[in-house]
Amino acid sequence: MEKTLVLLAAGMGSRYGGLKQLDQLGPHGETLMDYSIFDALRAGFTRIVFIIRHDIEEEFKRVVGSRYDHVVDVAYAFQSLEDLPAGFTAPAGRTKPWGTGQAVYAARNLVRTPFAVINSDDFYGADGYRKLAEGLDSAARDEFCMCGFFLRNTLSENGSVSRGICSLNADGTLKDVVEHTRIERVNGKILSTLEDGSQVEFTGSEVVSMNMWGFQPSLFGELERLFRAFLEEHSSELKSEFYIPFVADRLIQEGRARVKVLTSADTWFGVTYKEDKPVVQNGLRALVEAGVYPENLFRK
């Protein structure tokens, strides 16, 4: 079955201090996207759609897109503040687009196959792509999937991170996702600091969402409906965002979709802070030296 990989690459890394999507982290200047696409192609994905912004289009195509156009079909969709359903306009003073849900919405005219959605600045490992591919191949029209990671494998040693903690039903489908915005290791414990200052301790074995989703094309109609409902309530706000986990959770609660939870024991890499960069570089180098990845991912 043909499958599309949708990469969310429109965001700037505010805490990191730069455009992480173009940062060269591999031993031969590879970006994290290079590894994601390499793993996705090995797992059977046949098309790539990048979600970017118009202002980074030229540099992105030159630095990133040109690596793949000889090996896979590549397309681009653009997330913008103004890309809203008919009848809605952005409020005066708003400068940021509307979040990851709107980013996927931007691809509505380009994706006609089952598809995966990932962050372009995360390293997920090969296992997640294999499991998503298998899940998409066997899914019904209203059945989605998510590849989750164990919390202990997704933390930064350099500060707190935001993670969606997943609860599962007895049949292995997603019950809900609760976002925790300040999770970190403190004196050997994994703690989440809540808005009221209280703390919740986790074991590290909790399954977390890292925005590695598998969807059917039927999602786009639901996105349109839920985005409209979101804008009816929040369109005048300057910072509210429409997130993918919110969409998945709402569809689950409405009984309009099932989300099968797949899990990967791979270690997630990401550059949340500048200090994470050498950790990621060393991790990628170790994988190359172990033979998990070739020295040069894409040769022309």
pLDDT tens digits, one per residue of 18-39 = 566 677 888 888 888 899 999 9
Q: Is 167 domain-assigned?
A: no
Q: Is the pLDDT reported for residue 42 higher than 70? A: yes
Q: Which amino acid is at 109?
A: N
Q: Is the pLDDT reported for residue 45 higher than 90? A: yes
**Average pLDDT in the 224-238 region?**
95
Q: Domain containing 57: what range? A: 4-143+209-255+267-289
Output the pLDDT for position 18: 53
Output the pLDDT for position 16: 47
Output the pLDDT for position 64: 82
Output the pLDDT for position 21: 64
CA distance 62 to 70: 13
CA distance 241 to 262: 26
Output the pLDDT for position 59: 82
Output the pLDDT for position 288: 94
CA distance 75 to 185: 40
Output the pLDDT for position 271: 80
**Average pLDDT in the 248-262 region?**
93
Strands 47-52 and 4-8, bridge-based pairing:
parallel
CA distance 276 to 23: 12
Mean pLDDT, the chain, whole residue set: 90
Look at residues 203, 212, 201, 152 and name the one whose alpha carbon lies nearest to residue 177: 212
Q: Is 296 domain-assigned?
A: no
Q: Is 198 domain-assigned?
A: no
Q: Is the pLDDT reported for residue 221 higher than 90? A: yes
Q: Is the pLDDT reported for residue 224 higher than 90? A: yes
Output the pLDDT for position 20: 62
Looking at the structure of the chain, the number of domains it has is: 1
pLDDT tens digits, one per residue of 64-102 = 888 888 889 999 999 999 999 999 999 999 998 999 999
DSSP per residue, the chain? ---EEEEE----BTTTTB-GGG---STTS--HHHHHHHHHHHHT--EEEEEE-GGGHHHHHHHTGGGTTTTSEEEEEE--TT---TT--PPTT--S---HHHHHHTTTTT--S-EEEEETTEE--HHHHHHHHHHHHH--TTEEEEEEEEGGGS--TTS-EEEEEEEE-TTSBEEEEEEEEEEEEETTEEEEE-TTS-EEEE-S--EEEEEEEEE-TTHHHHHHHHHHHHHHHHTT-SS----HHHHHHHHHHTTS-EEEEEEE-SPPEE-SSGGGHHHHHHHHHHHHHTTSS-SSS---
Give 13's pLDDT tier (boundaries 50, 70, 90): very low
Q: Is 190 domain-assigned?
A: no
Q: Is 153 domain-assigned?
A: no
As a whole-number percent, the residues of the chain with pLDDT over 70 amount to 96
**Average pLDDT in the 120-131 region?**
93
Give 153's pLDDT tier (boundaries 50, 70, 90): very high
Give 185's pLDDT tier (boundaries 50, 70, 90): very high
Q: Is 298 domain-assigned?
A: no
Q: Is the pLDDT reported for residue 44 higher than 60? A: yes
How far apart, in Å, are the Cα atoms of 147 and each of 35, 263, 294?
17, 5, 25
Q: Is 134 domain-assigned?
A: yes
Q: Is the pLDDT reported for residue 242 higher than 60? A: yes
Give 60's pLDDT tier (boundaries 50, 70, 90): confident
Is the separation of the CB atoms in 18 and 56 below 8 Å? no
Q: CA torsion 116→122→124→125, rounded to 10°?
A: 120
Output the pLDDT for position 83: 95
pLDDT tens digits, one per residue of 270-280 = 887 888 889 89
The CATH number of whichever domain residue 101 belongs to comes to: 3.90.550.10
Is the separation of the CB atoms in 158 and 273 below 8 Å? yes
**Average pLDDT in the 138-149 region?**
90
Is the separation of the CB atoms in 151 and 190 below 8 Å? yes
Output the pLDDT for position 57: 87
Higher pLDDT, 46 or 56: 46
Output the pLDDT for position 104: 97
Q: Is 155 domain-assigned?
A: no
